[in-house]
Chain A
Amino acid sequence: MLVVAAAVTLSFVLIHAAPGDPLSNMGAEPMSPELVARLRQAYRLDEPVLVQYGQWLALALQGDFGYSPLAMRPVSALLADALPATLQLMGMALLSSIGLGVLLGGWQGARADSPGDRSLSLLSLVMYSVPEFCLGIVLLMLFVPALPPGGMTSDTADMLPLMQRIVDRLRHFILPWLSLTIVGTAVFARFQRAAMRDTMREPFVRTARAKGLDERQVRRQALRTSLLPVITIAGLTFPALLGGAVVVEKLFNWPGMGQLLWDAISRRDHWVLAGAVVVGSTMTVLGNLLADVTRAAVDPRVERS
């Protein structure tokens, strides 16, 4: 709650301190000063920042995030349109990054410093170092037109039979998902490798081996233990992932929160920005909470209270 409040306050301060407001957007046919003044009054843009903030906060508590004069729609409607698309992409990318990263890093950590580990380490170092958009551009150059360059579905998707529609969605999903997942996998693999390597040196591993457990079982046990720090990290990477989403969503024309945020920032759409930040930081808090719960489930040492 504290986090969300801080995030909202910060975004409010930022956007109000910056030059320009949503009505100064000079379109193809600019408005007369009188009209701008009237609109400004209608949208309460001429009241002090604190008053605007208070009014907005009071309404937000009731689930009303205000109205976007530029999109001509309630902010909550805009958020409701964008959120599912982002959750789909981010959620799948996060899950597969963790899954692949843990497997890869676990395999490496169990064989630390073997030639196989070394070449994989180099690979994950390279992937970890490539910005998501660079990867995205390369993927676009490689796979288009075999795969669609952007969007969530083909324009004619609604007309297709069910199976083709699913294929169509998957084809649109692959490239943005891949650009996020490759980088994400490298991030988690690096953490998992170090955690696994350290765990493999711990006394309980030696004990297990001495007890005659075969190496597979030993490694499984070690992997379970070494998951803890990785889960914590997963919770903490949420904000970074959200940031990466802006870039990837823009590159692949994915109609999610990232695009919404980008539009809101560049068009000075205060209320949309504030609403998006609330959702973003709520997601962050939930991500951390989820990480805590998962850790408790995995780690027998954490007491459930």
Chain B
Amino acid sequence: MLRAISRFAPIALLLAVCTSCGGTDTGGDSDTGTGAGSDIGGTLIEVQPAEPSTLFPPKVSGNDAGVIVGALFDRLANIGPALQTTGDQEFTPALATGWSWGQDSLSIAFTLDPKMRWHDGAPVRAKDVQFTFATYTAPEVEAVDASVLGNIDSVSVRDSLTPVFWFKRRLPYQFFDATYHMYILPSHLLDTIAPGALKASAFARAPIGTGRFRFVSWTPKQRIEIIADTLNARGRAKLDRVYYTFTSDYATATVKLFADEADFYEGIRPVNIPQVQASSALRLEPMPTLRYEYMAYNLRQKGDSAAPHPLFGDVNVRRALAMAVDRASLARNVHDTLGAVALSAGPRTLIPDSAALKQIPYDPTAARKLLDSLGWVPSAKDGIRERNGVRFSFELMAPSSSQSRVRFTELLQQQFLAIGVEARPVVLEGPAMGGRVMAGDFDTFVNAWNMKPGRLGMAQTWRTRGVQNYGRYASPEFDRMLDSAMTSLRSDLSAQRWTAVFQRLIDDQPGLWLAEASAPAAIHRRIRNAPLSADGWQRGLADWSVDPAQRLDRDKIGLRSAR
């Protein structure tokens, strides 16, 4: 027995390892670039921290799946590089070559490009657009962005190339609403499937779109492959193929990058930046984001939305805590040179006049005085403040998945301790924390929002009873200010009103604004990329190319596929 094992082990090893090798090269001539100097061809490998659960556009949330879907599907029109959401001047044609407004500005008729084809060869038609709107808003689909499509009343088909959007009221971001939230879906493939079954359909794992890349394969837990759509009406993508490879472990991801096995990684951490700079194969590329981090307060008592929170119901307490935190040092410690203090509930790029905002200064002495005057005095026992027998002690939650947010809890704990306030960090898995947050069962947590272009999320996050207003901040005055800013059709007035909105959030402190950070992306030197955009780096991916002089083996594979 023993001898048998030792004799056959090497063979068994080979066999076991090769069980799934199988398959042969289908070969075939590749129509890679023409001459030696051509910038057509090449392979890009992006390391992603997580595997998407679906590629069905209405169900896609988050950046990781978003960049893949964005390469495979198209919108009617693309937002401009400045991410200007009002009006239509900065939008550029995509599936639609043009558009015209109705006389009352309550409708927009798009003209589809007649040359556009789905990856299966079928032409793109107005009924696809109508079907797309119906799918995104069908309750059974539970689309991520269904709630922001509320101002669109309906979509009609004027002729086979002219879909018309009808709106309920005039708003500055009507055009943005009609184009930004929806990728157009192929009705000829999907309209026979019940809306509720779409997300689990074969299409969701092997999508067919109109983008300049088309889907090839999805190896579960390992990678997704897309290649250039050579028949695309806008011309083929310059790269041959893109792999999205999944690596949940950050260390492994960076090793892969440094070992020349990957070309692109979004969100490199500050500690690795010198390494990237020193590497001969990689360079850093600035990567703007619309993300900000803050400590969210529960303004109501746990579980009881009527009564104010015993500690944080008082705006002066919140202001005192803001004075106790050296936010500049915290932001610097967590994000190093990549971060900056958050000025308010949004990154600087979304605040029209950030210089005009008046901040609450860092002043621990004033913080102590303020708390003293509010009746919160240090106890004789351990120096933690008390009032009427209530200790100033609370839970500070953060999700384990976010290194920076966990770090903030540890740092905040120390800062608060210095003024006699006890924060107890609780690190939870995302779902566990989410459950408590949504149930209102929390004191504070470190949160981060990735804002969409145009501040539209503000109503969801800070307006009274907004769907994501977890701290239950309720200020009728703030709501009025927000409404007038959002509906203002004049740009100078709009800027003024938005500044007032952000100032109000500083004064009221429904959250302690901590930091905004934009980690650069690490990218292989041979890749010539378009500028990275804050709403997903896949913008312009079809025009990325590989420097012909620096091609690696993987750039020479060509367009043939293995299957």
Tell whether A268 is near chain B: CB-to-CB under 8 Å: yes
Q: A144 contacts B259, CB within 8 Å?
A: yes
The residue in chain B whose Cβ has the minimal distance to the Cβ of A172 is B17
Task: Tell whether A103 pairs with B6 under 8 Å between CB atoms, given A155-B245, A166-B21, A169-B17.
Answer: yes
Contact of B261 among A28, A148, A161, A252 (CB under 8 A): A148
Tell whether B496 is near chain A: CB-to-CB under 8 Å: no
Contact of A227 among B2, B17, B223, B562 (CB under 8 A): B2
Q: A155 contacts B63, CB within 8 Å?
A: no
Least distance between B13 CB and chain A CB atoms (Å): 6
Tell whether B341 is near chain A: CB-to-CB under 8 Å: no
Per the bound structure, the CA–CA distance linking A255 and B220 in Å amounts to 8
Q: B431 contacts A268, CB within 8 Å?
A: yes
Q: B63 contacts A145, CB within 8 Å?
A: no
Task: Give A15-31 as 1s and 0s: 1 = Cβ < 8 Å from B's Cβ atoms.
Answer: 00011111011111111
Q: A102 contacts B2, CB within 8 Å?
A: yes
Q: B435 contacts A30, CB within 8 Å?
A: no
Interface of B is mostly: mixed
| Residues of A close to B105: CB separation below 8 A | none
Tell whether B256 is near chain A: CB-to-CB under 8 Å: yes
Least distance between A91 CB and chain B CB atoms (Å): 7
Tell whether A84 is near chain B: CB-to-CB under 8 Å: yes
| Residues of A close to B562: CB separation below 8 A | 158-159
- Residues 28-68 of A at the B interface (beta carbon under 8 Å): 28-33, 35-36, 38-39, 67
Q: A99 contacts B252, CB within 8 Å?
A: no
Per the bound structure, the CA–CA distance linking A115 and B344 in Å amounts to 71
Per the bound structure, the CA–CA distance linking A282 and B541 in Å amounts to 47
| Residues of B close to A24: CB separation below 8 A | 431-432, 434-435, 438
Least distance between A133 CB and chain B CB atoms (Å): 11
Tell whether B307 is near chain A: CB-to-CB under 8 Å: no
* Segment of A69-77, A207-215, A284-292 in the binding face: A69-77
Query: Number of B residues contacting the other chain (C-beta, 8 Å)?
Result: 73
Least distance between B432 CB and chain A CB atoms (Å): 4
Q: B259 contacts A155, CB within 8 Å?
A: no
Tell whether B258 is near chain A: CB-to-CB under 8 Å: yes
- Residues 240-277 of B at the A interface (beta carbon under 8 Å): 243, 245-249, 252, 255-256, 258-262
| Residues of B close to A173: CB separation below 8 A | 17
Tell whether A11 is near chain B: CB-to-CB under 8 Å: no
Least distance between B412 CB and chain A CB atoms (Å): 20
Q: B431 contacts A253, CB within 8 Å?
A: no
Tell whether B16 is near chain A: CB-to-CB under 8 Å: yes
| Residues of A close to B21: CB separation below 8 A | 162, 165-166, 169
- Residues 13-52 of B at the A interface (beta carbon under 8 Å): 13-14, 16-21, 23-25, 43, 45
| Residues of A close to B54: CB separation below 8 A | 72
- Residues 115-152 of B at the A interface (beta carbon under 8 Å): 139, 142, 144-145, 147
Tell whether A129 is near chain B: CB-to-CB under 8 Å: no
Task: Tell whether A150 pairs with B256 under 8 Å between CB atoms, given A29-B62, A255-B222.
Answer: yes
Q: B432 contacts A20, CB within 8 Å?
A: yes
Least distance between B562 CB and chain A CB atoms (Å): 3
- Residues 145-198 of B at the A interface (beta carbon under 8 Å): 145, 147
Q: A266 contacts B429, CB within 8 Å?
A: yes
Least distance between B468 CB and chain A CB atoms (Å): 5
Per the bound structure, the CA–CA distance linking A98 and B4 in Å amounts to 13
The residue in chain A whose Cβ has the minimal distance to the Cβ of B217 is A158
The residue in chain A whose Cβ has the minimal distance to the Cβ of B433 is A26
Tell whether B53 is near chain A: CB-to-CB under 8 Å: yes
Tell whether B467 is near chain A: CB-to-CB under 8 Å: yes
Tell whether B450 is near chain A: CB-to-CB under 8 Å: yes
Tell whether A96 is near chain B: CB-to-CB under 8 Å: yes
Tell whether A5 is near chain B: CB-to-CB under 8 Å: no
| Residues of A close to B261: CB separation below 8 A | 148-149, 154-155
Tell whether B557 is near chain A: CB-to-CB under 8 Å: yes
Per the bound structure, the CA–CA distance linking A138 and B350 in Å amounts to 45
| Residues of B close to A98: CB separation below 8 A | 5
The residue in chain B whose Cβ has the minimal distance to the Cβ of A74 is B200
| Residues of B close to A111: CB separation below 8 A | none
Interface centre among B20, B63, B204, B262 (most CB of A within 10 A): B20
Tell whether B480 is near chain A: CB-to-CB under 8 Å: no
Q: B9 contacts A250, CB within 8 Å?
A: no
Tell whether A152 is near chain B: CB-to-CB under 8 Å: yes
Least distance between A35 CB and chain B CB atoms (Å): 6
Q: Which 5 A-B pairs have the closest CB atoms?
A: A26-B434, A24-B435, A255-B221, A158-B562, A145-B259
**Residues on B facing A (Cβ under 8 Å):** 1-2, 5-6, 9, 12-14, 16-21, 23-25, 43, 45, 53-54, 59, 61-63, 139, 142, 144-145, 147, 199-200, 204-205, 220-223, 243, 245-249, 252, 255-256, 258-262, 399-400, 429-438, 450, 467-468, 553-554, 557, 560, 562-563
Q: Can you report 17 A-B residue pairs in the complex whose CB atoms are below 8 A from each other?
A: A20-B436, A24-B431, A24-B435, A26-B433, A27-B62, A36-B438, A95-B12, A140-B255, A149-B256, A150-B256, A151-B247, A153-B222, A159-B554, A169-B17, A251-B252, A253-B249, A268-B429
Task: Name 16 extra pairs, CB < 8 A, besides A73-B200, A92-B13.
Answer: A24-B432, A26-B438, A78-B220, A81-B220, A99-B6, A149-B256, A155-B245, A155-B262, A156-B43, A156-B243, A156-B554, A158-B562, A165-B21, A227-B1, A259-B221, A259-B248
